[in-house]
């Protein structure tokens, strides 16, 4: 499957809507699972390190991409049937390490940083707020597309981007009111009825203390390290850190995606490379910053004490697998569509994340959040519906020059033998000067000898 502008597979299936729908579903599920994995109860008194999850994500993507790349090379008609496993790996090595493969190191590092920032943001923000704020990647992608790819945007598109920023700003408006009763409602409050504003009893307080005690690891009588246990069981949530993290992730997402699109669609690049080979290149260059910067440098000391897989359970593994699938789907969408289409595909997950956060995470419903979300969704719709200024022109119809061959064609006029004409019926050049006047055939005058012969008869 070569990288080209075609959006259809070999079987006639359009990959564009399929990849967009799959990316939308994956994005919604991934955000919700990632958020839950950061706030769920501890696993054996430990919470997993985000750096290890990012590294495993890249390892899984590399494994899947390598398998599919080998399969595509083995089934390629150009590959001889006598090729061995060593020959296939040699062919894959030549396809991966080309002259321009090093260019993918830039988007690879940006995508790795984006994944790390997502973990930091979702550790401090709820899933729905993260999803709405993360839509600013549409703005950053559009700006970098104009600056790097030279694309042009209509006035209507710029207006929709302005509305997008306004909607995100409305969502971030604080809701503190200073009154005794807060102006927010949650699903937990609605389930408990009107009594949710009443104060806790002594039995409720005792139950809360016992629940907190069960989350703490067993320590010595000196309580050494109990503060670390408490912070791990009840991580401090800082909305400002979460907001800064998601804003930085939108910048890295837009810049990395535009760089990747530029490399994929560059006429000078290797157009014969399949999308799986590109994914191998991208994952290969993403593993090294995830390993050396994240695992060894940032969390190396803590991982050495607790272990690499500390805090892992089925939820964490599901999160890693879903994130790896998303990385592959993003490359498909960029290849068969573009970055702007990718961002709008993920925008529908705002509603999914909002409903799931309200139902499962007891998210507070505020007027500012509902209003800001509505503005963001309208801006997304307006951006998607606006016509592109630079639409590709239809291809010109070119008629190749018809060269004469030895065989006579059906419309070859010269090959048709004209009937013999009498030399006496020569009418060439005797047409009238008036365009509507038909040509008159002139008969030659009779010679005197013929007249004399007629008189004798």
Concatenating the DSSP letter of every residue in 403-429 gives ---SS--TT-GGGSPPPP--TT---TT
Both tokens of 198, joined, read 């009443």
| DSSP helix/strand/coil, 14 | strand
Q: How confident is the model at residue 436 (pLDDT cuts 50, 70, 90)?
A: low
State residue 321's pLDDT score: 94
Both tokens of 283, joined, read 């994952």
Q: What length is written for the chain?
A: 457
Cβ contacts of residue 111 below 8 Å, gap of 6+?
Answer: 252, 253, 256, 282, 286, 327
8 A C-beta contact, residue 155 and residue 387: no
8 A C-beta contact, residue 286 and residue 109: yes
Q: Is 442 exposed, middle or buried (0-12, 13-18, 19+ CB in 10 A)?
A: exposed
Q: Which residues share a beta bridge with 274?
A: 2
Query: Is the pLDDT reported for residue 75 higher than 90?
Result: no
Nearest to 311 by CA among 236, 234, 232: 232
Distance of CA 16 to the CA centre of its chain: 11
pTM: 0.68
Q: Which residue has the tokens 């964490």?
A: 316
Q: How confident is the model at residue 13 (pLDDT cuts 50, 70, 90)?
A: low
Q: Which residues share a beta bridge with 43?
A: 46
8 A C-beta contact, residue 264 and residue 336: no
Q: How confident is the model at residue 266 (pLDDT cuts 50, 70, 90)?
A: confident
């Amino acid at each position: 499957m070569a990288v080209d502008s075609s959006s259809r597979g070999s079987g006639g299936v359009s990959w564009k809507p399929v990849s967009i729908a799959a990316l939308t579903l994956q994005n919604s599920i991934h955000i919700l699972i990632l958020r839950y994995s950061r706030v769920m109860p501890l696993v054996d008194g430990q919470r997993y390190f985000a750096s290890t999850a990012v590294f495993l994500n890249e390892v899984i993507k590399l494994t899947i991409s390598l398998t599919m790349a080998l399969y595509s090379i083995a089934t390629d008609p150009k590959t001889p049937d006598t090729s061995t496993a060593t020959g296939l790996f040699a062919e894959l090595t030549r396809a991966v390490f080309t002259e321009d493969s090093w260019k993918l190191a830039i988007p690879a590092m940006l995508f790795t940083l984006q994944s790390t920032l997502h973990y930091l943001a979702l550790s401090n923000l709820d899933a729905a707020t993260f999803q709405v704020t993360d839509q600013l990647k549409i703005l950053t992608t559009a700006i970098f597309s104009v600056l790097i790819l030279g694309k042009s945007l209509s006035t209507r598109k710029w207006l929709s981007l302005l509305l997008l920023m306004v909607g995100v700003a409305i969502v971030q408006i604080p809701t503190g009111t200073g009154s005794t009763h807060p102006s927010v409602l949650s699903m937990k409050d609605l389930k408990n009825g009107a009594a949710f504003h009443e104060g806790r009893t002594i039995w409720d307080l005792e139950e809360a203390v016992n629940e907190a005690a069960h989350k703490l690891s067993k320590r010595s009588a000196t309580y050494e390290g109990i503060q670390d246990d408490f912070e791990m069981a009840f991580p401090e949530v800082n909305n400002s850190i979460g907001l800064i993290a998601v804003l930085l992730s939108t910048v890295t997402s837009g810049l990395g995606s535009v760089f990747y699109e530029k490399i994929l669609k560059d006429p000078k690049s290797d157009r014969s490379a399949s999308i799986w080979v590109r994914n191998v290149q991208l994952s290969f260059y993403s593993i090294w910053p995830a390993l050396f910067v994240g695992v060894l440098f940032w969390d190396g000391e803590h991982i050495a004490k607790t272990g690499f897989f500390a805090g892992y359970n089925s939820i964490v593994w599901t999160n890693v697998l879903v994130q790896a699938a998303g990385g592959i789907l993003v490359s498909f969408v960029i290849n068969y569509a573009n970055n702007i289409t990718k961002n709008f595909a993920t925008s529908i997950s705002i509603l999914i994340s909002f409903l799931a956060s309200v139902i499962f995470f007891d998210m507070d419903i505020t007027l500012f959040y509902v209003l800001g979300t509505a503005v963001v969704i309208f801006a997304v719709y307006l951006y998607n519906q606006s016509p592109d200024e630079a639409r590709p022109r239809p291809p010109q119809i070119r008629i190749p020059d018809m060269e004469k061959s030895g065989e006579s064609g059906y419309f070859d006029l010269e090959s048709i033998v004209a009937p013999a004409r009498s030399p006496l019926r020569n009418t060439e050049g005797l047409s009238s000067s008036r365009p509507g006047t038909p040509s008159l055939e002139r008969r030659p005058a009779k010679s005197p000898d013929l007249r004399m012969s007629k008189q004798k008869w």
